[in-house]
Amino acid sequence: MAKYILQRVVMIFISLFIIVSATFFMMKAIPGDPLTSERSVSEEIEQQLRAYYGLDEPLFIQYVKYLKSVATWDFGPSMKYKAQTVNDIINDGFPVSALLGLEALFLAIGMGIILGVIAAMFHNKVPDYISMILAVIGMSVPNFLLAALFQYYFSLKLGILPTAGWGDSFEQTILPAFALAALPTAVIARLTRSNMLEVLQQDYMKTAKAKGLSRLVSTFKHALRNALLPVITYLGPLIAGVVTGGFVVEKIFGIPGLGMQFVTSINNRDYPLIMGTTVFYSIILLVMVLIVDLLYGVIDPRIKVSGKGKGGE
Amino acid sequence: MGKLLEVNDLEVSFKVHGGEVKAVRGVKFHVNKGETIGIVGESGCGKSVTAQTIMRLIPQPPARIKNGSIMFNGEDLLKKTEREMQKVRGKEIGMIFQDPMTSLNPTMTVGAQIMEPLIKHQNLSRKEATKRAVEMLDLVGMPNPEKRIKQYPHQFSGGMRQRAMIAIALACDPSLLIADEPTTALDVTIQAQILNVMKDLQKRLNTSIIMITHDLGVVAEVCDRVVVMYAGKVVEEGTVQEIFKNPQHPYTKGLLKSVPSLDQDKDKPLVPIYGTPPDLFSPPPGCAFCDRCDYAMNICNKQDADKYHVSDTQYARCWLLDPVAQEVRSK
Per-residue pLDDT tens for B113-135?
888 888 888 888 888 888 888 98
Verify whether the Cβ–Cβ distance A212 to B90 is below 8 Å. Answer: yes
Pinpoint the alpha helices (H) of B123-246: 126-139, 145-148, 158-170, 188-205, 216-222, 240-245
Verify whether the Cβ–Cβ distance A208 to B105 is below 8 Å. Answer: yes
Verify whether the Cβ–Cβ distance B87 to A299 is below 8 Å. Answer: no
Contacts of A300 in chain B (CB under 8 A): 106-107
Torsion, Cα B120 B121 B125 B131, to 10 degrees, reads -110
ipTM of the complex: 0.81
pLDDT computed for residue A30 by the predictor: 77
Q: At A311, is the pLDDT very low, low, confident or very high (cuts 50, 70, 90)?
A: very low
Which of B 103-132 lie inside 8 A of A, CB atoms?
A: 103-108, 113, 116-117, 120-121
Residue-wise DSSP of chain A: -HHHHHHHHHHHHHHHHHHHHHHHHHHHHSSS-TTTTS----HHHHHHHHHHHTTTS-HHHHHHHHHHHHHTT---B-SSSTT-BHHHHHHHHHHHHHHHHHHHHHHHHHHHHHHHHHHHHTTTSHHHHHHHHHHHHHHHS-HHHHHHHHIIIIIIIS--S-SS-SSS-THHHHHHHHHHHHHHHHHHHHHHHHHHHHHHTSHHHHHHHHTT--HHHIIIIIIHHHHSHHHHHHHHHHHHHHHT--HHHHHHTT---SHHHHHHHHHTT-HHHHHHHHHHHHHHHHHHHHHHHHHHHHH-TT----SSSSTT-
User: What is the rounded average pLDDT of the residues A230-234?
Assistant: 84
Between these two residues, A31 and A140, which has the higher pLDDT value? A140
Verify whether the Cβ–Cβ distance B105 to A207 is below 8 Å. Answer: yes
Verify whether the Cβ–Cβ distance B97 to A299 is below 8 Å. Answer: no
From the list B57, B94, B116, the residue facing A206 with the nearest CB is: B57
Total beta-carbon pairs less than 8 A apart between chain A and chain B: 72
- A297-306, B53-62, B156-165, B280-289: lowest mean pLDDT where? A297-306
A229 to chain B: nearest residue by CA? B107
From the list A211, A225, A299, the residue facing B89 with the nearest CB is: A211
Residue-wise DSSP of B215-245: -HHHHHHH-SEEEEEETTEEEEEEEHHHHHH
Q: Interior CA angle at B92 toward B87 and B93, to 5°?
A: 105
Q: Does B95 touch chain A (CB under 8 A)?
A: yes
Q: Which of B82, B84, B104, B107 to mutate to test the interface with A (most CBs of A within 10 A)?
A: B107
Between these two residues, A293 and B325, which has the higher pLDDT value? A293
Verify whether the Cβ–Cβ distance A212 to B154 is below 8 Å. Answer: no
Per-residue pLDDT tens for B145-176?
888 888 888 888 888 888 888 888 888 888 88
- The answer to whether A178 and A161 have CB atoms below 8 angstroms apart is no
Q: For the whole model, what pTM was predicted?
A: 0.78
Verify whether the Cβ–Cβ distance B116 to A299 is below 8 Å. Answer: no
Which of B 221-280 lie inside 8 A of A, CB atoms?
A: none
CA distance A284 to chain B (A): 29
